[in-house]
Structure 1
Amino acid sequence: MTHERGSVTAETAVALPALVVVLAASLWVVAVVGAHLECVDAARAGARAAARGEAPEAVRSAVVRAAPGGARVVVSPGAELTRVDVSVAVQPRWGLMLPAVEVRASAVSATEPGVFR
């Protein structure tokens, strides 16, 4: 009976670090997916605003507000299409030595007639 207790302790000692690694990886994936969704939402909102003819400064500030912190925003207005690109490097808070993951999203919207300046 004491032999079985020792094996359970050893199995737990081996399994616990693996469970911590799986949990950390899962949290990292959730953070990356969340950042991607924020980039998609920000790009879509910016493309709609730019297509309506809002001032470029207003479009950019709206996208920056909706995007994750530190995001890079590029607004490309055109006569027919307006494109907004949002990208951000997502780094795990617990693993500063790990490389950052680049998350990107783009949105294109038809520019309303008479809007392009």
Structure 2
Amino acid sequence: MVFIVVLVLLLRRQFLFVSPSFAFFSDSFFEALTIQIKSLVFAPNILIFVCLTLCSLINMFTSRTIFLSPGAAVTWPHHDILVGKEKRVVYATDFLALVFTGFQGMEYYQALFTISHGHLLVF
């Protein structure tokens, strides 16, 4: 029973972070369909723009993969903690956090908008 609960919690965490990425990519790949849907949902005075380049898509995909990989590979740190190799787990987690933060920084540096554009609705 505990295994099922842990499995459901892990799946919930994965879908929590996968669903915004899927929404973004489906919006950019199926743009003709989403324009029709958005025209019904959003008021006409809201500015909607999509900032996509190949480099930003690769950055987003890579950073999402790095961000989701610890949740998908939870058995390796669990085993190391049981064996007594806590330092290895901490170093690996810190390394993934630094790599993810670097990719996020590159993604925001390449974005066509800034925090001062807070009045715009970005998709």
- Shorter-normalised TM range: 0.3 to 0.5
With normalisation by structure 1, the TM-score equals: 0.35
Give the structure with the higher percent helix.
Answer: 2
Give the structure with the higher percent strand.
Answer: 1
Q: Which has the larger radius of gyration?
A: 1
